[in-house]
Amino acid sequence: MLSGSEASEAATRSGWSTRDASLLFALYLKENEDMSSDEDLSRHHEWNRQIIEEFRATGGKPGGYFAGVHVLLLHTRGARSNEPHITPVVYLKDGDTFVIIASKHGAHTNPDWYYNLLAHPDVTLEVGTEQFKAHATVPERSERDRIFADAVKQLPRFGEDQQNTARIIPVVLLERVH
């Protein structure tokens, strides 16, 4: 579990209570105790690297798995390591707000980038050929439910992902910082 000062700092940055932030990070640490094999991690990192390369080469329109959907590159800092990470993520729009869904294909755990955003909500986004700063927030449950229902209408696979897991799949709002 996070120390009191670490939880307090994370809560202040993310807008969560110290208790909630501490519990979320404790859950994250427990979920990631038995990390994938080095080979699995290496394959995942290589896949991400290729998608990032294709994203940048095509002006933000990668093909393959991401063909036909809107993709952004999410620049975060690791929740535990504070190391920089770049992750390709499907996004939707809610007005001027970028919406990302922490579905992780219906896995029983949240993606690492979700915990990174809780710890460090100030991020950089690459959308198309543009790069800019943004601030991440997790909406209240009623707002999350409204946005998630809209996301499922646009991309039904999010609904399938929700059916495959007992967790409530988080929604994250990314607001451009001017």
pLDDT, average across residues 32-41: 57
Condensed to tens digits (0 to 9), the pLDDT of residues 55-104 reads 999 999 988 888 889 999 999 999 999 999 999 999 999 999 999 999 99
Whether the pLDDT of residue 38 is over 50: the answer is yes
State the pLDDT at residue 55: 93
Q: Is the predicted pLDDT of residue 34 greater than 60, yes or no? A: no
Distance CA(75)–CA(47), nearest Å, equals: 16
Superfamily of domain 35-176, CATH level 4: Electron Transport, Fmn-binding Protein; Chain A (2.30.110.10)
Domain boundaries, the chain: 35-176
Contact 174, 96 (CB under 8 A): no
18-27, 50-59, 129-138: segment of lowest average pLDDT = 18-27
Q: What is the pLDDT of residue 77?
A: 97
What confidence score (pLDDT) does residue 37 get? Answer: 64
Q: In sequence order, what are the beta bridge partners of 99?
A: 92, 173
Per-residue pLDDT at 2: 41
